[in-house]
Amino acid sequence: MFTIFGANPLHDIIECLVAALEARDIYTSGHSNRVADMTYELAKALGLKRSKVDKIHIAAHLHDIGKLGIPDNILNKKGKLLPHEWDQIRLHPQIGYNILSRSKDLKEIADIVLYHHERWDGKGYPSGLKLDRIPLGARIIAVCDSIDAMTSERPYRTALSKEQCMEEIILNKGIQFDPVVVEAAVKLWHICE
């Protein structure tokens, strides 16, 4: 087993993979690290054991690693994506799973990455899982990933304010997001203001 702290080559490998992704995906520079930082705090706030927090934190760093397999013309498109381009983007969790599942030590992390776009109501992808059939780590990352996406500028839309973002997260509690995770995120939001 591994840990992410101290002299650990796994942490260095993760940093290299994230840097490789960010070198290709110019619009999300820093996204993986911001999501990982939020995920770490949220997992701790939910009272998870240190080993579980560490695995979820690693998965958050790597949640978009599958975008390495998405063509540049789609990944870095300046305008809105067409339906067939969205279909390509929606492959990134499966691609990420395929990359990470090559290591038996990363199996649980690979599963979290695979399911980070599932929705509480079952309308997510790639498998249409719902409720607690979605791994907890994926449910936590889903909230943090959405927060960072909504509060970041994109060429095709402006960023939401923190208040607007929180309203969206609350509006989707029990629909897109796990209600318990949303409640913990809202409590942290108020602490961090």
Structure confidence by residue, pLDDT tens digits, 34-58: 999 999 999 999 999 999 999 999 9
pLDDT of residue 40: 95
Arithmetic mean of pLDDT over the chain:
88
Question: Is 65 contained in some domain?
Answer: yes
Question: How far is it, in rounded angstroms, from Cα 70 to Cα 90?
Answer: 9
Question: Is 2 contained in some domain?
Answer: no
Question: How far is it, in rounded angstroms, from Cα 62 to Cα 112?
Answer: 10
Range of the domain at 63: 9-192
Residue 177 tokens, joined: 């997001």
Question: Is 4 contained in some domain?
Answer: no
- pLDDT at residue 7 greater than cutoff 50: no
Question: Is 1 contained in some domain?
Answer: no
Question: How far is it, in rounded angstroms, from Cα 163 to Cα 189?
Answer: 10
Annotate 133-154 with three-state secondary structure.
HCCHHHHHHHHHHHHHHHCCCE
Confidence of residue 92 (pLDDT cuts 50, 70, 90): very high
pLDDT of residue 13: 78
CATH number for the domain spanning 141: value is: 1.10.3210.10
Query: How big is the chain by its Cα radius of gyration, in Å?
Result: 16
**Spatial CB neighbours of 129, under 8 Å, sequence gap ≥ 6:** 115, 118, 122
pTM of the model: 0.89
Question: Is 134 contained in some domain?
Answer: yes
Q: Using a pLDDT cut of 90, give the percent of the chain over it.
A: 64
**Spatial CB neighbours of 3, under 8 Å, sequence gap ≥ 6:** 54
Question: Is 109 contained in some domain?
Answer: yes
83 cis-preceded (ω within 30 degrees of 0): no
- The residue ranking higher by pLDDT, 93 or 15, is 93
Confidence of residue 3 (pLDDT cuts 50, 70, 90): very low
- Domains in the chain, number: 1
Question: Is 122 contained in some domain?
Answer: yes
- 121-142 pLDDT per residue, tens: 999 999 999 999 999 999 999 9
Q: Using a pLDDT cut of 70, give the percent of the chain over it.
A: 89
pLDDT of residue 26: 66
